[in-house]
C-alpha cells in the first residue's frame, strides 16, 4: 500500500490536470463558425413573429396606417426589448416624428401627429445567427402625405448572445485598425461601382455627386462583413440601399480573431 501511494497520488494529480484543462474556457474560440448560415442558424436564438397592421382608431376615409412585421425572442427579454427600442428610435430618422422609447409609445404618438395618408412600416428579420451571435436587419419606412415617394432606413444589430448586448464596430475591429477597415470598405465600394451603369458612364461626375463615405452600419455574416447604406448616402434613390461585402480573408489582422472564421 505504501509503495502504491505515490503512484496513486501522481495518477490523481494527472487526472485533475486533464479535467481542469477540459473544463477551462477556450480563449481563442471563434464566434463565426465555418458552417453556412443555414447550418449555424439551427443553434441560434428562438424567434417568434410579431405581425399586425392597424389604422388610426376611429378614423374613416383617408387614415394613417401602421404595419409591424417584426420578431420577438421568447426567453430573451434583453434582445426583445432592444429590438423594440431600436425600431422606435428609427421612426424619427428623417425628422418627421419624435423618437419614442418603444413601438407602443410611438404608436400612441403617431396617431396624434400623423397626416391623413401617412404610413409607417417597421420590420426586423434575422440576417445571420449561430449559438454565439444574432445578427438582425431592422427596417423603418415612412410614406408621408403628399410626398413623391417613401423613405426608409435600414439598421443592423450584431447581438452577442452570451454578453446580452449589441456589438459596435469598435468592439469588432482591433485597436488602431479602423483606417485599415475603411480602406477595405473603399475597395468594396470600388467593386460595387463597377456594377453600376450610371457610375460607369461618367465616373467623375458620379463620384462628385455620390462620393464614398465610411459607415458603421455593419453586419457579421457567414461570408464576411456586410456594410449597408441608406438611400442618398452613396448613391441616388434609384439605386436603393446599397450593400458592400468585405470577405473575411481581407479582414485578417483587422478584426479581432473572435470575429473571424477559423
pLDDT at 72 > cutoff 80 = yes
C-alpha–C-alpha distance, residues 96 and 150, integer Å: 12
41 — pLDDT class (breaks 50, 70, 90): low
C-alpha–C-alpha distance, residues 257 and 244, integer Å: 21
pLDDT of residue 44: 85
40 — pLDDT class (breaks 50, 70, 90): low
Q: Which range, of 24-38, 120-134, 162-176, 204-218, averages the lowest pLDDT?
A: 24-38
- Give 147-188 as a 3 state SS string: CCCCEEEEEEEEEECCCCEECCHHHHECCCCHHHHHHHHHHH
Q: What is the DSSP letter of 54?
A: E
- Here the cell at position 142 is 415612412
- Here the cell at position 104 is 407602443
pLDDT at 248 > cutoff 90 = yes
pLDDT at 92 > cutoff 70 = yes
pLDDT digits (tens, 9 = 90+) for 168-216: 999 999 999 999 999 999 999 999 999 999 999 999 999 999 999 999 9
CB atoms near residue 68 (< 10 Å): 18
pLDDT digits (tens, 9 = 90+) for 18-27: 444 443 334 5
pLDDT digits (tens, 9 = 90+) for 99-108: 899 999 999 9
pLDDT at 32 > cutoff 60 = yes
81 — pLDDT class (breaks 50, 70, 90): very high
Give 71's strand partners: 49
Long-range contacts of 93-99 (CB under 8 A, 24+ apart): 93/140, 93/151, 93/153, 94/142, 94/151, 96/142, 96/144, 97/142
Closest residue by Cα to residue 183 from 154, 205, 212, 162: 212
Q: Give the CA distances from residue 190 to residues 28, 180, 183, 211, 262, in Å, rounded to whole numbers and listed in that order.
A: 33, 16, 11, 11, 28
C-alpha–C-alpha distance, residues 199 and 201, integer Å: 6
pLDDT of residue 150: 84
pLDDT of residue 115: 92
Residue with cell 485533475: 16
Please tell me the pTM assigned to this model.
0.85
| Helix boundaries (H) for the chain | 4-23, 37-40, 77-90, 103-113, 169-172, 178-193, 197-201, 203-209
What is the DSSP pairing of strand 218-220 with strand 165-166? Answer: unpaired
pLDDT of residue 38: 65
Contact call for residues 231 and 152 (beta carbons, < 8 A): yes
Average pLDDT of 90-116?
Answer: 91
Q: Which range, of 13-22, 36-45, 214-223, averages the lowest pLDDT?
A: 13-22
Average pLDDT of 153-165?
Answer: 97
C-alpha–C-alpha distance, residues 167 and 152, integer Å: 23
Amino acid at each position: 500500500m505504501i509503495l502504491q501511494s505515490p503512484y496513486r497520488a501522481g495518477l490523481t494529480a494527472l487526472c485533475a490536470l486533464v479535467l481542469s484543462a477540459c473544463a477551462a474556457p477556450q480563449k481563442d474560440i471563434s464566434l463565426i463558425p465555418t458552417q453556412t448560415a443555414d447550418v449555424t442558424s439551427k443553434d441560434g436564438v428562438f424567434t417568434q413573429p410579431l405581425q399586425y397592421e392597424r389604422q388610426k382608431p376611429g378614423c374613416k376615409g383617408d387614415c394613417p396606417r401602421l404595419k409591424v412585421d417584426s420578431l420577438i425572442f421568447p426567453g430573451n427579454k434583453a434582445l426583445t426589448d432592444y429590438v423594440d427600442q431600436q425600431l422606435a428610435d428609427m421612426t424619427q430618422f428623417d425628422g418627421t416624428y419624435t423618437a419614442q422609447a418603444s413601438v407602443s409609445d410611438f404608436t400612441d404618438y403617431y396617431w396624434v401627429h400623423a397626416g391623413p395618408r401617412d404610413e409607417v412600416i417597421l420590420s426586423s428579420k434575422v440576417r445571420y445567427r449561430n449559438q454565439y451571435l444574432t445578427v438582425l436587419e431592422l427596417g423603418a419606412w415612412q410614406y408621408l402625405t403628399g410626398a413623391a415617394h417613401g423613405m426608409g432606413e435600414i439598421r443592423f444589430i450584431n447581438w452577442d448572445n452570451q454578453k446580452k448586448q449589441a456589438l459596435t464596430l469598435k468592439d469588432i475591429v482591433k485597436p488602431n485598425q479602423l483606417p485599415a477597415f475603411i480602406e477595405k470598405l473603399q475597395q468594396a465600394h470600388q467593386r460595387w461601382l463597377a456594377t453600376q451603369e450610371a457610375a460607369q458612364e461618367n465616373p467623375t461626375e458620379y463620384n462628385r455627386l455620390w462620393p464614398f463615405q465610411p459607415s458603421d452600419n455593419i453586419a457579421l455574416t457567414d461570408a464576411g462583413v456586410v456594410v449597408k447604406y441608406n438611400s442618398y448616402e452613396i448613391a441616388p434613390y434609384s439605386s436603393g440601399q446599397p450593400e458592400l461585402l468585405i470577405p473575411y480573408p481581407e479582414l485578417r489582422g483587422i478584426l479581432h480573431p473572435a470575429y473571424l472564421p477559423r
